[in-house]
Amino acid sequence: MSDEQQKIESGPPPQDPRFAGYARPPQNSGSPSSGMQTLIPTKNAMALAAYYTGVFSLIPCVALVLGPIAVFLGIRGLRACRENPEMPGKAHAIVGIVLGAITGATNLIYLVLLFSSVSRS
C-alpha cells in the first residue's frame, strides 16, 4: 500500500492540541466552487444580471433605463428560482427588483416634477 492510499484510508489528521475546543473547518464537498456558488449565483444569470443592473441603476443618469430592466430581470430570476428550488440567486433577484423599482420610480417622479415646473415658468 502506498503512502498516499494510507493517508486517504486513515482519515483526517489529528487535531492540533493548540486548537482543541475549536470546530474543524468543513471538508471539501467535492465541488470546488460550492462556496462561491452560494455567494455569486452563476447558475441563475437572470438574478445576477438583475442584481448588477439594480446596483448600477443607483447612478442617476441611467436609472430610468436600468431600473425597469432590473425589475424585469429580477422577476425572471425569481421565476427560475420558483421553478427549480435548488437554484441559487433568490436574494440577488429580490435586491434587483427592489433597487430597480425604487430608483426607476424616484427618477421618473423627479423628471415629472422637473418638466411640470419648467412648463409653469
Query: What is the DSSP secondary-structure string of 3-68?
Result: HHHHHHHH-SPPPPGGGTTSPPPPPP-S-TTHHHHHHS-TT-HHHHHHHHHHHHTTSGGGHHHHHH
User: Could you say which DSSP state residue 84 is in?
Assistant: S
Burial of 54 (0-12, 13-18, 19+ CB in 10 A): buried
Q: Give pLDDT tens digits along the chain (121 positions).
A: 565 555 555 555 666 666 666 666 556 555 555 566 566 767 889 999 999 999 999 998 898 999 999 999 999 999 999 999 888 889 999 999 999 999 999 999 999 998 888 877 6
Long-range contact pairs involving 79-85 (C-beta distance under 8 Å, separation at least 24): 80/44, 80/46, 80/47, 81/44, 81/47
**Dist. CA 42–CA 49, nearest whole Å:** 10
State pTM to two decimals. Answer: 0.66
